[in-house]
Amino acid sequence: MTRIALITGGASGLGRATALAYAGAGLSVVVADIDGARAAAVAAELQGKGHRGLALDVTDEAQVASVFALVEREVGPIAVLAHFAGISGYTPDGLNPKIADESVANWERTMDVNLKGTFLCVREMLRVRRARPVPHGRIITTSSMVAQSGGINGGAAYAASKGAVLSFTKMAAREAAPLGVTVNSISPGAIDTPMLRSVMPPERDASYIQSIPMGRIGLPQDIAAAALFLASEDASFITGSCTDVNGGMRMQ
């Protein structure tokens, strides 16, 4: 039976690359993003048939419930939730605020998208899988290298939100295990996506890669490859883990 994957933040960057990888591996992909038009465009470029693109704001509890219900009803049971939706926490004027200058509004917006969005989507996945179990259920959350290193490109709200994603992922892994669902996090380093480029111009690459043992900025496909493995049936004994994909920039 074709496995169904729901990819949040799938209209861009890491989510889009993962959608391409999953479709290439024969999964049926639902691309969900706050930008529904771009989600539909990504779904249209995927290999194979039956892919869908949907609008979803992951901070909206009712929308999360209705999108999961729609997918379960019209596409089928979701085997893989790959949750990439996230924001950088930079202010709309492109600034990375220091804690002393951070606003409550920007702090809350960052926590809302990165942490509450993760909670709402994982909660909904656990609810639907509890109601209708599937074999080889998988949840993949997205943290960040800065969660454990302290921010370089990320500010405190972003780092704190991504640190909380790691803790939440471990709790979710314990609770999902009886359902046969694994829950793992990917922790990207600097990966060349629109988000990275919104905070780091290419002119900084040469100095930045001095601190990356593999000597390059990551590509979205580097993350998609990890997400593909974690989604696979072969990854059935890996849960509660964090996969660092950062070219060796931070080793624990």
The label of the residue with tokens 């779904």 reads: 43
- Provide the minimum distance between the beta carbon of 207 and ligand NAD in the complex, in angstroms, as a whole number: 16
Among 19, 27, 54, 56, binds ligand NAD (CB under 6 A): 56
* Closest to 169 measured CA to CA, from 112, 121, 233: 121
Q: Which whole-number Å values give the CA distances from 169 to 10, 106, 139, 140, 242, in the listed order?
A: 20, 24, 9, 9, 9
The gap from C-alpha 37 to its chain's centroid, in whole angstroms, comes to 19
| Residue 158 annotated in active site | yes
Interacting stretch for ligand NAD, rule CB under 6 A, among 27-35, 72-80, 98-106, 121-129?
27-35
Between 21 and 134, name the residue whose CB sits nearer to ligand NAD: 21
Among 4, 22, 30, 59, binds ligand NAD (CB under 6 A): 59
Backbone torsion region of residue 56, taken as left when φ is above 0, otherwise alpha when ψ lies between -120 and 50, otherwise beta? beta
Among 29, 80, 87, 181, binds ligand NAD (CB under 6 A): 87
Residue 12 in contact with residue 85, Cβ under 8 Å? Answer: no
Chain residues 32-51 in contact with ligand NAD, contact rule CB under 6 A: 33-35
Q: Which residues of 163-182 are buried (b: 16+ CB within 10 A; e: fewer)?
A: bbbbebbeebbeebeeeebb
- Provide the minimum distance between the beta carbon of 71 and ligand NAD in the complex, in angstroms, as a whole number: 15
Residue 86 in contact with ligand NAD, rule: CB under 6 A: yes
Chain residues 175-194 in contact with ligand NAD, contact rule CB under 6 A: 188, 190-191, 193-194
Neighbours of 10 (CB within 10 A): 34
From the list 22, 90, 158, 208, the catalytic residue is 158
Residue 140 in contact with ligand NAD, rule: CB under 6 A: no
Residue 85 in contact with ligand NAD, rule: CB under 6 A: yes
Interatomic CA distance for residues 34 and 48, integer angstroms: 24
Among 144, 184, 239, 243, binds ligand NAD (CB under 6 A): 144
Distant-in-sequence, close-in-space partners of 65: CB < 8 Å, separation ≥ 6: 124
Binding residues (CB under 6 A) for ligand NAD: these are 8-9, 11-15, 33-35, 56-59, 84-87, 113, 117, 142, 144, 188, 190-191, 193-196
Q: Which residues are the active-site residues?
A: 158
